[in-house]
Amino acid sequence: MQLLEKEVEDFIYNDLAFNDGDELDGRGLQLQSYRNYSAPKWFRQLSIEPYGITDIVGFYRRDGYLHADLLELKAVPIALEHFEQISRYKRGLEIYLKNTFKNFGTIQCYLIGNGYDGLYIQNGINIHVASYEYNLHGIMFDHHAPYSGWQITNAKDRSFRKRKINAKEIY
């Protein structure tokens, strides 16, 4: 049975927002970056204009700095364009956070799809890759080694035309 991207997003978001990711841990998807720090605030479908709309983003404080976990989900096997997409989202979120918070830390990226062949050139940013499958035991994840990708830059990065992220909600 093939799951819709929305169903996978619902499962992941609900577990992170209401159960601290415990169910995800047991199913093979471990997002360790926010563990043991201030309670993260999770958001769905966060608009980072003009870069796009993310699936799930979590913000948390660690050692006096604001950090973020960025999750991009795919109902299809992970392909090169998905790395480009999450890199673009990371860049937009990074620009916004650096311009909004003086104590901005890091962004961890997680690309989660329905399969992954692992054959991509390495050259830059860190993206954690996981695949999932749906079987008799429900949804199960397989976390792959982090992918060191590329850094996407854009001359239009100077500012956001429309701010859809509310800094008060994050902080």
**Least-confidence region, from 24-38, 74-88, 105-119:** 24-38
Three-state secondary structure call for residue 60: strand
| Domain span including residue 12 | 5-170
User: What confidence score (pLDDT) does residue 74 get?
Assistant: 93
The tally of domains found in the chain comes to: 1
- Condensed to tens digits (0 to 9), the pLDDT of residues 116-168 reads 876 664 545 678 888 888 888 888 888 776 654 433 333 333 333 333 555 55
Q: What is the pLDDT of residues 64-88, one digit of tens each?
A: 888 899 999 999 998 888 888 998 9
The per-residue pLDDT for 145 is 63
CA distances 28 to 24, 130, 131, 162, Å, are 6, 9, 10, 37
Mean confidence (pLDDT) of the chain: 78
pLDDT above 90: residue 21: no
In the block, tokens 């008060």 appear at 168
| 52-53 and 47-48 beta bridge pairing | antiparallel
